[in-house]
Chain A
Amino acid sequence: MNDTRVLQTTTPKDVRAYVARVRLALSDLPCEDADELTQGMEADLLELAAEAGGLRARLGTPETYADDLRAAADLPPRRAGRTPSQRPVRSGIARWWARGESLMARPWAADLRPVGWVLRGFVGYCLVAYFIGGNLHSLLGWTVGAALSFWVGRATRTWKHRRRTVLVAINLSAALIGIFVVPSVFNQTTTGPSIIEGPPTMEGLARNGEPVTGIVVYDSTGRRVEQPRAFDQNGSPLLTPPDGESYTPPVSLPPLTQQTPASSATAVPPVPLATTPPTASAPPPASTKRDVTPSSGSGADRTGAPQPSSPAAATKRP
């Protein structure tokens, strides 16, 4: 960063960058001290910049300002070390670190910290269970993990720079591995044996969970209706032909609500799927499965005409 630059017009971004560098210059202090010194600084410096213009002209470089802060607050001077410009990579990382710290010093971030601890406990338990072996879905495990992490979070809140870096590194690694492990926890939850599965969704017509593979239709006089067609309330065919073709109902098809006294093959009355066929004159077929597919085996029983709505076709003549 260009230290010699004097900011004439100071934008909120400039102020944030300035605060981040002050934080960086205070980074050897315990986190609590640095937080205490820099919390609210952004708002104050924005106000100052609005009144006085350039921050650097008024306060000097962020590093000088940080040194003044330390001196006035009776905090120890900065630890001797190489200046940031002599270690570009390290200072780059440190700058990002300082930005993160400055973000974490915001009040909302501080409020969210315990939530993070609890989440870390959950992820931590999942990692342990995943790699060492154990029940990933143990409520007790989650609770113990969360409580332990909460305790660690409270205990390490005042940790100083080096130990804190290690802690953050561990947290970040856990978060990275957790991204891969935790989804598998949820996957197992949804497909695990402990969950009672509903019937698998099936295509086509079903009744009480069983696929309906054939329908035999009789009219009111007990006569078998050849090639009946059944449609639902939307006019869609109830049975799709096995070859996947969808059946287009003929134009002359009467509305479903209209009651036709004697049905024919083309005019389709509403089909009461649940009614039992009149057994006196037409016993229901013993087996229907064989005839659903318009294959060669069932061809002999049929009229021989093309049967676009073959799934609904009857199996045997009465």
Chain B
Amino acid sequence: MDSTQLVKGVLDLAVLTVVSTDDGYGYDVVRRLRTAGLDDVGEASVYGTLRRLYSAGALTSYVVASDEGPHRKYYGITRTGRDMLAFQGKTWTAFAQTMAGLLNTAGVTP
């Protein structure tokens, strides 16, 4: 199974999780996701997701001026975003457990 497709499904949750611990700019979020093991995550997908979550009110954004180069745009999580994270987190965990149980019946274990 192509893990890219799987990542797409959980990208919102993954981005919310990363940003919930620390505010971050786009490329910083990409890097943190990859460090966590989501190697297949694409830049454009993360930026698009940030934008979408921002539109949904889950994220807030602010620009940090830089003396040397162009400005950076940081994203931080909002109250709505934390609620979303909690809800989606539960959904995902339940889903993952269900899948693990199902696979277990067939003798597939991680």
Contact = CB atoms under 8 A, between A and B. Distances in A.
B49 A39 contact: no
Contacts of A59: 43-44
B49 A43 contact: no
Interface residues of B, number: 25
A25 to B, nearest CB: 12
Interface residues of A, number: 27
Given A39-B73, A107-B65, A107-B71, A44 B48 contact: no
A27 B49 CA distance: 19
A170 interface: no
A268 to B, nearest CB: 66
Nearest to A59: B43
A209 B75 CA distance: 70
A44 B44 contact: no
Contacts of A72: 11, 44-49, 51-52
A59 B47 CA distance: 12
Contact of B69 (A12, A58, A73, A107): A12
B66 interface: yes
Interface string B15-47: 000000000011100000000000000111111
Contacts of B25: 40, 43-44
Interface in A42-75: 42-48, 58-59, 65, 68-75
A42 B12 CA distance: 23
Contacts of A210: none
Contacts of B52: 72-74
A65 B47 CA distance: 10
Contacts of A104: none
Contact of A46 (B44, B49, B63, B70): B70
Interface string B49-77: 10110110000010101100111110000
B54 A68 contact: no
B26 A41 contact: yes
Interface of B: 11, 25-27, 42-49, 51-52, 54-55, 61, 63, 65-66, 69-73
Given A40-B70, A40-B71, A43-B69, 13 more contacts: A12-B69, A33-B51, A40-B63, A41-B47, A42-B69, A42-B70, A43-B70, A44-B27, A58-B43, A65-B43, A68-B44, A72-B45, A74-B48
Interface of A: 12, 33, 36-37, 39-48, 58-59, 65, 68-75, 106-107
11 contacts: A39-B71, A40-B25, A42-B69, A44-B26, A44-B47, A45-B27, A46-B69, A46-B70, A68-B44, A72-B52, A74-B52
Closest 9 CB pairs of A and B: A72-B48, A40-B73, A68-B44, A73-B48, A44-B27, A42-B70, A73-B51, A43-B70, A72-B45
